[in-house]
Structure 1
């Protein structure tokens, strides 16, 4: 029996960001609970987002950004739209179990 991958957005699921500072996203605590904490190199994360005020436009920083959990994703202040609300989606992935069948 394997447990599902764990996705954790550091700082919580909702926050107010001041445009002058930009936004830094981190998923440091995302992991594969089936493996020891020292053996997580197979885990990767993908950040995407949607501008909730204008969902038909895909902003550059909303396109899939592939990282490993220790890496943070910084979005510079000049790329954010003032007053906009964004929904960021975190996906945790691994190829380790791709050959496994249910």
Structure 2
């Protein structure tokens, strides 16, 4: 299964307003299923959204779920993949100035 997350896999990160010290083991496991190794990734503080061209969120604000198992994380991963695919379709179709 090739997903856009794998295509963009060199730069996935977990970023948030209050990030944990390490990537959640369930997140690491479900991303590894796609061949994306998050072993050496460290969550970072979301500090300057205004500087980003595009931000894809889970839509949970400051209280994202924690302690989920792989079976709960997979649908989140797949939803983010879908959102990125839809965004890319929109960006490719958008007229340039």
TM-score tier after normalising by the smaller chain length: under 0.3
- Which structure has the larger Rg? 1
Scaled by the length of structure 2, what TM-score is found?
A: 0.23
Scaled by the length of structure 1, what TM-score is found?
A: 0.22
When you count helix as a share of all residues, which structure comes out higher? 2
